[in-house]
Structure 1
């Protein structure tokens, strides 16, 4: 199971290698599962002792075989590849010659395999141009969509909000500014999510909180702090331990 939000926020290079690195935290994070390694720690992988970067690479090779296998396992709506193209790419990745590929996949001739290679290269060029187009668009588009938070449990129409809409919503509900209290808690789902995104920004990442500490922070924002606390967990902004003693940002 991929880390969906982290995965789609990653660069093409990070997707290809199967992990991303965050310099600020020194964390190497597998994009294909929840495994992480931290700089300065030595990890035992089978009979080997490995530093963080080598440990994450070893993990991907042994747990996922390769990032390519996971990428090829994506639905066609993400890859745009036919089943035959998937098989061809796997065969090319395994280092088979064009003749060996033709024999293994039952393709008529070597020239047919070479034609498939050519089409894949053309597809790569098209993808590069499309990425450049979208990058240019994002730099100018005033209707940019707000990013979905990483802990979202079910992404649907509730999360389709532009940055301009977000600004209007926040100014409506935080009348004294974003650092001030919440005037009223919205009932509409889309607005509720935007407000919760702003509230969770008051907490520190990777810090463990007691229920009392969470409540004290939320009391400064809204009188019905218990409702806010419940929604932060329900919408995947926070998690808590089974005994309810510890809370943390997801």
Structure 2
């Protein structure tokens, strides 16, 4: 898996823009493409400086960031499926009547969801302020427990809960217990948290932006855990690490 910084680790302003700015230039926070300051970028017979080029890139390749964020897993945005549908329609410029018709709910329900979303926004702002104030007071982040820093969740996780409260020490211990020095799996544990840790390690054998056939995936997984490589393959799909075509002909690392 790539080392690109997860989108939620950027500032709100950068997420809204879709890119970050540094002394050297600009970087798309979605795909990691960089644009060097001082360089001119041609695009459709037009010339752009680095700032213009990254803006053009984000718009052309990833669309509006509101729509991109709404396309992420629900566990990442904290929205319900209905709320996501409503916000997608809002993003498309639909009014309450049109939204109600599209979703199959009453206009009063749409208004109620608008109120709830506004409350969610206020709560999010207060929570961000709280965590920053708490960090300044205690000089410690909320993701640092007695057992160490809680590691990041992969952005395509299908369900985010306490199973993902994994510290570096837990990861190291689990990998040492269940994997050999060559990356082979000794056994696949029943505990969910340990499964997630090991699936993360297994994903290091696959690259983003590469399409794999099922045979290629099986070949990699068979080397890691010949005893039940189909089970590992299914787990990678179920836990949101990989995606596959409906006919299972193509597998990809899930973004």
**TM-score normalised over the length of structure 2:** 0.57
Which residue pairs with 1:217 in the alignment? 220
Aligned pair count reads 186
Deviations 1:80-108 (A, max 9, x none): 29xxxxxxxxxxxxxxxxxxxxxxxxxxx
Deviations 1:24-65 (A, max 9, x none): xx97356xxxx998866848xxxxxx744235369549979x
Post-superposition Cα deviations, 1:3-32, rounded to whole Å, max 9, x if no partner, equal xx94422235413x4313599xx97356xx
Counterpart check, 1:247 vs 2:246: no
Task: Note if 1:8 corresponds to 2:44.
Answer: no
Unpaired stretches in structure 2, ≥5 consecutive residues: 36-40, 45-51, 69-89, 92-116
User: What secondary structure does 1:242 align onto?
Assistant: coil
1:204: how far off?
1.2
Cα distance in 2 for residues equivalent to 1:134 and 1:19: 32
C-alpha distance in structure 2 between counterparts of 1:62 and 1:191, whole Å: 34
Q: Which residue of 2 aligns with 1:56?
A: 58
Displacement of 1:147 after TM fit? 1.0
* 2-structure distance, mates of 1:135, 1:18: 30
Contact 1:37 1:56 in 2 (8 A): no
Question: What's 1:198 paired with?
Answer: 201
Higher relative contact order (CA 8 A, sep 6+): 2
The alignment yields a C-alpha RMSD, in angstroms, of: 4.2
Aligned-pair distance for 1:77?
2.8
User: Over alpha carbons, which structure has the higher Rg?
Assistant: 1
Change in 2 beyond 3 A, CA 1:76/1:167: same
- Separation in 1 of the partners of 2:154 and 2:7? 13
- Counterpart position of 1:117: none
Aligned equivalents of 1:220 and 1:164: distance in 2?
26
How does 1:73-88 map onto structure 2 within 5 Å?
74-80=120-126
The 5 A counterparts of 1:102-181 are 130=134, 137=141, 143-174=148-179, 176-177=180-181, 179-181=182-184
Question: CA shift at 1:247, angstroms?
Answer: 0.7
Are residue 182 (structure 1) and residue 185 (structure 2) matched?
yes
* Counterpart Cα distance in 2 of 1:42 and 1:162: 45
Cα distance in structure 2, aligned partners of 1:57 and 1:131: 35
- Name the CA shift for 1:140/1:229 in 2 (closer, same or farther; >3 Å): closer
Task: Check 1:152–1:139 CA distance in 2 against 1; reply closer, same or farther (3 A cut).
Answer: closer
Q: TM-score, normalised by structure 1?
A: 0.58
| Contact 1:29/1:36 (8 A) holds in 2 | yes
Alpha carbons 2:18, 2:65 under 8 Å: kept: no
Are the equivalent residues in 2 in contact too, given 1:169–1:191 (CA < 8 A)?
yes
Give the secondary structure class of the aligned counterpart of 1:248: strand
In structure 1, list runs of 5 or more residues that go unmatched: 44-49, 82-122
